[in-house]
Structure 1
Amino acid sequence: MSIRQGLLALLADQPMYGAQLRSEFEARTGGTWPLNVGQVYQTLTRLERDGLVVELGDDDEGRTTYGLSDAGRAEVDRWWAEPVDRETTPRNELAIKLALAVTVPGVDVARIVQAQRTATMRQLRDLTRLKASTTGEPDRTQLAWLLVVENLIFGAESEVRWLDHVEARVARAARAVHQASRPPASPGSSLHDVDRTVVHESAQR
């Protein structure tokens, strides 16, 4: 998720100062994507430059408060209305790692898959426990946090299934390569094998 869009969405709720924006962002996303104050103020500077955010003055403690301009509010409305763009595929380090691993000689792909599955299963267990720790009817902030946690749970479950698929595909490809590299049996050796089988069966009788 873009920090830019996230801050605009928070300012659509109410005017805030930088540290407050950071705190609200982390609270509503369960701290999954932590921000530092520097990132927040850097983004606010760009948003102000682009005419989407305006300074509303200082509060009683001297902290500069920011709000949306008309253009900023229109930008937030557009963001709510449009689906998230999936045409630009984000880089997935695990997918890149395994894609490269199967092309580099000497890499134990099965070991990589096994180690990643163990780590992902551990994360899935921790996330499930975290979700189970929530009791009662959640308020708006808790609901937002739960949705993020559940997204991570679904993602971890999907990754485990994909790793199982990778393991099976790699094993199948290895068997195919092994079979293709075996020299074909000559006609003579085939007959010899048949004769040995006949003799062995006759001896058993």
Structure 2
Amino acid sequence: MSIRHGLLALLERGPRYGSQLRTEFESRTGATWPLNVGQVYTTLGRLERDGMVAQDGEDPAGHALYVITDAGRSELKAWFRRPVDRTSPPRDELAIKLAMAVGAPGVDIREVIQSQRRHTIKAMQDYTRLKAQALEAVPADRHEVAWLLVLEQLIFQTEAEARWLDHCEARLIRLSLLPEPTGRPAADGPVQNPSESPAESDRPGLADARSSDASQAGK
């Protein structure tokens, strides 16, 4: 997450002081990635060192105000044009956990998958409910529009994770690293492509979450 570019984007709208920037950043993103004032002022100090922001007096309450410079505007424009680099993805704890669980003695891989699946579906349902609330305020509130976009990204992300967990379970069954689950038909077909929608009947709650999401998206 680029805090520095987020702060530059907020300063493009006019002078701001540190705690004001923190409040506006969290409002715009629904506090999904909370900041503390220390992070904000540390980042502002680095931006000032790099010539991208400058202090410009104080507000009536005595808060030091920061403004974006021409160099900061150029950097911000370049950031908006530049794609986010995916060639060096951040470490994913879940992927590492499953990779280490394979072959680890005494580890029930299916329970690891099922536990995460329950958590992921619960998170997706919570995001869907928050999306319904955000839609009620759109388009009157621009901050709610920004929050809505973040929420939808989180919904897509958790949905993709649930599909990947299904794929992992099917793959492990196919490779005889997991037994067939009791009460389910044998996995005699090819392992499903992660981009294809899995059978939702195996994941209680996912269909309801998608149904709710779809009905709200149609508003």
Structure 1 stretches of 4+ moved >6 Å:
none
Q: Supply the distance in 1 between the matched residues of 2:137 and 2:4 (Cα, whole angstroms).
A: 33
* CA separation of 1:94 and 1:16: change in aligned 2, threshold 3 A: same
Q: Supply the distance in 2 between the matched residues of 1:84 and 1:59 (Cα, whole angstroms).
A: 35
Structure 1 counterpart SS, 2:34 = coil
Residue identity in the other structure for 2:2? S
Q: Which residue of structure 2 lines up, in the alignment, with residue 105 of structure 1?
A: 105
Q: Which residue of structure 2 lines up, in the alignment, with residue 132 of structure 1?
A: 132
Structure 1-normalised TM-score? 0.83
Higher helix share: 1
Q: Does 1:4 align with 2:4?
A: yes
* CA separation of 1:95 and 1:10: change in aligned 2, threshold 3 A: same
Residue identity in the other structure for 1:63? H
CA deviations 1:146-202 (Å, max 9, x no partner) are 00001000001000000000111112222699xxxxxxxxxxxxxxxxxxxxxxxxx
Residue identity in the other structure for 1:137? V
Residue identity in the other structure for 2:142? R
Q: Supply the distance in 2 between the matched residues of 1:95 and 1:124 (Cα, whole angstroms).
A: 19
Structure 1 counterpart SS, 2:176 = helix
Contact 2:137 2:144 in 1 (8 A): no
Q: Supply the distance in 1 between the matched residues of 2:137 and 2:43 (Cα, whole angstroms).
A: 36
Number of residues paired by the alignment?
177
Query: What 5-or-longer segments of structure 2 have no aligned partner?
Result: 180-219
Which structure has more RCO (C-alpha within 8 Å, separation ≥ 6)?
A: 1
Q: Which residue of structure 2 lines up, in the alignment, with residue 45 of structure 1?
A: 45
* CA separation of 1:68 and 1:170: change in aligned 2, threshold 3 A: same
1:91 positional shift: 1.0
* CA separation of 1:53 and 1:167: change in aligned 2, threshold 3 A: same
Q: Which moved more, 1:77-86 or 1:132-141?
A: 132-141
From the CA coordinates, give the structure whose radius of gyration is larger: 1
Q: Which residue of structure 1 lines up, in the alignment, with residue 175 of structure 2?
A: 173
Residue identity in the other structure for 1:23? T
Contact 2:110 2:178 in 1 (8 A): no
Contact 2:44 2:53 in 1 (8 A): yes
- Coordinate RMSD, CA, aligned: 1.5
Query: What 5-or-longer segments of structure 1 have no aligned partner?
Result: 178-205
Residue identity in the other structure for 1:147? L
Identity of aligned residues (%): 58
Structure 2 counterpart SS, 1:174 = coil
Q: Supply the distance in 1 between the matched residues of 2:100 and 2:24 (Cα, whole angstroms).
A: 39
Residue identity in the other structure for 2:46? R
Structure 2-normalised TM-score? 0.77
1:103 positional shift: 3.6
